[in-house]
Amino acid sequence: MIYHSPSLVGYMLWLRYGLLALQPLRPLRDIYAHHLESPGTKAFTIAEAHCLFSPFSSTDVRISLGPGDLLQGAVGQRHRGLLLRAAKAVWPRWFIRRAMKGHGLGMLITAFRNPPISILSRNGGTAKDETKGKSS
């Protein structure tokens, strides 16, 4: 999984482990590394993702809102508390889906290399039936 930064999950983690911990200058990268999923977890900007996939001839990066961004389901299991329960109750999911699509934690990347390898190129440019000539 490749995570996106900045994201709503990142903002919430910063509120909890940055601002409320009296460390408002703590970088999001540090907060992701210590409090998101497992130790050392990294998140990337869209520009950084394009750099990671620069050897490919074409790269499409999309950001998706997930359950963590929308505070749905059993999210925040490591971060329990009254504040999280209250936020889940009043979280404006409808607004987030419309106005904050680019602030999701999920990063979906499609990358192509040029020229793409296909069945046709492996069979000399023709779609050969590899089962012909075999006896049962």
- Three-state DSSP class for residue 66: coil
pLDDT tens column, 73-116: 877 666 677 878 888 889 999 999 999 999 999 999 999 887 65
Q: Residue 73 carries which side chain, given as an amino acid letter?
A: G
Q: Is 105 exposed, middle or buried (0-12, 13-18, 19+ CB in 10 A)?
A: buried
pLDDT tens column, 76-87: 666 677 878 888
Q: In whole angstroms, give the CA distance from residue 41 to residue 64.
A: 18
Mean predicted lDDT score pLDDT of the chain:
84
- What's the distance, CA 54 to chain centroid? 18
Q: Is the pLDDT score of 131 beyond 50?
A: no
- The pLDDT score that the predictor gives to residue 81 is 78
Tokens 């023709």 found at: 126
Closest CA to 5 of 47, 58, 38, 51: 47
Q: Residue 109 carries which side chain, given as an amino acid letter?
A: I
Q: Is the pLDDT score of 123 beyond 60?
A: no
What does pTM read for this prediction? 0.76
